[in-house]
A = this chain, B = another copy of it.
Amino acid sequence: MNKLIPVTELTLDPGAQELLLKAHEEDIETAFDRAKEQEPHCKFGLTGVCCRRCLQGPCRITYNGTKGAKRGICGATADQIVARNLLSLIVEGAAPHVEHAREALHTLLEVAEGKAPYEIKGKDKLITLAKQLGLTVDGKEVNALAEEVALAALEDFQRQSGISRWLRLRGQEKSVQTWSELGILPTNAHLEIANAINKTAMGCESDPVSLLLGIMRMGLVEGFDGLHLSTDMQDVLFGTPKLVKTQYRMGVIKEDYVNIAVHGHIPMVSEKVIEWSRKLDREAKALGAKGINIVGICCSANELLMRQGVAVATNYASQELAIITGALEAMVVDAQCIMPSLAKVANCYHTELISTLPNIKLEGASHVNWTPEEADKMGEEIVRRALVHYPERDQARVQIPSDTVEAYTGFSVEQIVELLATLNQEDPLLPLIEAIAKGDILGVVAIVGCTNPKVKQDWANTELAKELMKNNVLIVASGCSAHSLGKFGLLSPAGLEFCGERLAGVLTAIGQANGLPALPPALHMGSCVDNSRIDNLLVALANRLGVGVRELPVAGASPENHSPKALSIGTFFIAQGVDVHIGVNAPITGSPLVEQALTANKGEFAVTTDELFGGKLIYEADPVVAAHKLIDRIIKKRKALGLVCPEDLGSVAK
């Protein structure tokens, strides 16, 4: 355990800092310790030039051009190895979202068929979606319509030719045209995944440009049959989020309650946990607790936060620390971003770590199986187990950091439009477009993705946000990055103190028209799959303006990215023509070709995503420098649209 590094250098979150000290005292290892233990990282791995695809190797190729092998045993060059590895990584990012979407659609299907105990809460969304899909809506029962919608979605896992239905549904026409010309329109999500793996297999595709196009295609699979499909199915099942007030930080764990943390990504699990926590609340009181308290971690948090206002304990890097409070009776996990170490940490306390998905088992965890049909059984069983553990809690080891921070969330596109409609009922997007056109809003940047023990937790996410806000850039946020902003008041009207005057004026005007002191400077739009909502917002703005998404003065950023999902989501946005910043570099620097194709940094190669799609990858570890790189690109796009720029307004930065 590395006790020499002050905890203030590991995380910005004071609650996490406090719990790291507790972990050190109790001799419990965390990801922050293990991150230091892996330094220095293998440079072959970091730069993408390590290949373990077959048993001739493993092969390590030169990454600096001066020594070592130039080709793997099969003859693969650095360009080929890096491109193949990146495609594998993007597939590993997209596949979990695709499977998430498929689980959601099967749940909807079973609900529609009367087999699964969920209520279809998003009837409006269902009807809108059915109409968008061209289905006949009138005179149909909700369940019959839901079944039709789910079966339409299922085609994206079965069709053998043609184009993904969800891409046709959600893609902007101008973008679809670009993708069609490049021959990267996906057919069927599962087929594309198998096909991509076939490309990367030993002795298969070696053309790095073709591999790069495969990467962009996988970005479209991620975007449409991963993100969009997940959000659409979940909005139908659980309702479209609306503005809601909630709390952030470890202090949301309550000493006098039975505490259950939901962690992972799949709301079909976490919605049932909260439902049963309400049903069994009295039993908690019978045990002497004040009730049952559900807190969220990662995107399970986001799903419940957006729709139910459930409070958020923390985000990815400090997930173990929630257990170290000693006050969690259960941590319920489903899929993705679940540290395998959780079982070991939970074992130091009375906390029961419970896995739920049939396909995602955790070593050392107990398992209460979720299937759509068994959802109630699962929910009840999990909550009952937590109740059993409450009396086992060792009060002497309980230490819950005290503070919490207020946040406003629930900013679905539907909610944003509703808020804007108070300013212009007929043309709700117009006030936003006018604010952008006038330069009151310089542009929009999505801050999304993760935290990463390699980066001081929450620091890069919040620093980037604040620098952008200062320059009148509106922030939309999702995932664990949104949690970073939430913990530090940037999802609250209090965050206006960080904004440039022009942006603050717009946010105040919209907020006050809706009975709020102001809108927060960062609009929390949901979980990682809800990056679909950000895409919907961009497409709506672009369509209203009559331009392509690639022309908009917008960008994306993942300052503390760790998950390949952040890369696959980023690839989707680059394919849309949106620049994407990452604060932790992808393993691409071993190949000048791949690096330049994605970043357009050097002039050696002809083809870049910037030219083909209008978007590029920007790697920059310093969040303030990154903010200005994004602002420069936004200004460039503003100029191309003929919009006023900061120099015209006499305010480059506050």
Question: Residues of A with Cβ closer than 8 Å to B?
Answer: 29, 31, 34-35, 37-38, 41-42, 44-46, 50, 52-60, 69, 71-77, 79-80, 85, 89, 91-93, 95-96, 98-99, 106, 154, 157-158, 160, 188-191, 193-195, 197-210, 320, 335-342, 344, 359-363, 452-454, 561-564, 566-567, 584-587
State the oligomeric state as a number of copies: 2
Excluding A52-B89, A203-B337, 20 further A-B contacts by CB distance (< 8 Å) are: A34-B73, A34-B75, A42-B44, A50-B52, A55-B562, A56-B453, A58-B587, A73-B453, A74-B340, A75-B339, A92-B200, A92-B201, A93-B201, A157-B158, A189-B194, A190-B190, A193-B197, A205-B360, A207-B362, A207-B363
Can you sample 26 A-B contacts with CB below 8 Å?
A31-B74, A34-B71, A38-B57, A38-B58, A38-B60, A38-B69, A38-B72, A42-B44, A53-B564, A56-B453, A56-B454, A56-B562, A74-B339, A75-B320, A75-B344, A99-B198, A189-B194, A190-B190, A193-B193, A195-B359, A203-B338, A203-B339, A204-B335, A204-B360, A205-B359, A205-B360
> Bound complex: CA of A177 vs CA of B80, how far in Å?
43
- Please indicate the chain B residues that have their CB under 8 angstroms from the CB of A46 in the complex: 58
The CA-CA distance from A605 to B218 in the complex, in Å, is 40
The answer to whether B54 touches A563 (Cβ under 8 A) is yes
Known: A45-B58, A60-B38. A198 touches B96 (CB 8 A): yes
- The 8 Å CB contact of A452, one of B55, B69, B106, is B55
Task: Give A41's nearest chain B residue, CB to CB.
Answer: B58
Q: How many Å from the CB of A319 to the closest CB on chain B?
A: 9
Find chain B residues with CB under 8 A from A55 CB: 452, 454, 561-564, 566-567, 584-587
* In the bound complex, CA of A165 to CA of B618 (Å): 47
Are B56 and A363 in contact, CB atoms less than 8 angstroms apart? no
Q: Are B194 and A190 in contact (CB under 8 A)?
A: yes
A205 with B50: CB separation less than 8 A: no
**Which of B45, B191, B202 touches A157 (beta carbons < 8 Å)?**
B191
**Which residues of chain B are within 8 angstroms of A193 by Cβ–Cβ distance?**
190, 193-194, 197
Contacts of A197 in B (CB 8 A): 91-92, 95, 193, 197
